[in-house]
Amino acid sequence: MVADPGLLTRRRDPNDGRLVRLYLTDRARAARQPIKEARRRLEDHATATLTDEERRHLRTALTKVIRQLDPDQTASSGEERNGRPDR
């Protein structure tokens, strides 16, 4: 579980005792910037042979794929798998 290695803490919501909220620990916050930098370096390396336009197209296409795979997005978007509105 992610909370076990000390990256998250759990606290009851003060307004709704049924909810448990997750918060980043100092250790997790410290790791955010190095992770962002590593992700950026990997993306730069993976797309090094693409033009800026190709990168934009790739990012747009991948965003659409991710939205399609997200059940919350597809349920509320009114679209089928082919991207056309439901009939």
> In terms of residues, how long is the chain?
87
Cβ 51 vs Cβ 58: under 8 Å: no
pLDDT digits (tens, 9 = 90+) for 34-77: 999 999 999 999 999 999 999 999 999 999 999 999 887 655 55
Element (H, E) at 82: none
Element (H, E) at 21: strand 20-24
| Secondary structure class of 26 (helix, strand, coil) | helix
pTM as predicted: 0.56
pLDDT digits (tens, 9 = 90+) for 15-26: 998 999 999 999
* DSSP state at residue 11: E
Domain ranges of the chain: 1-42, 47-87
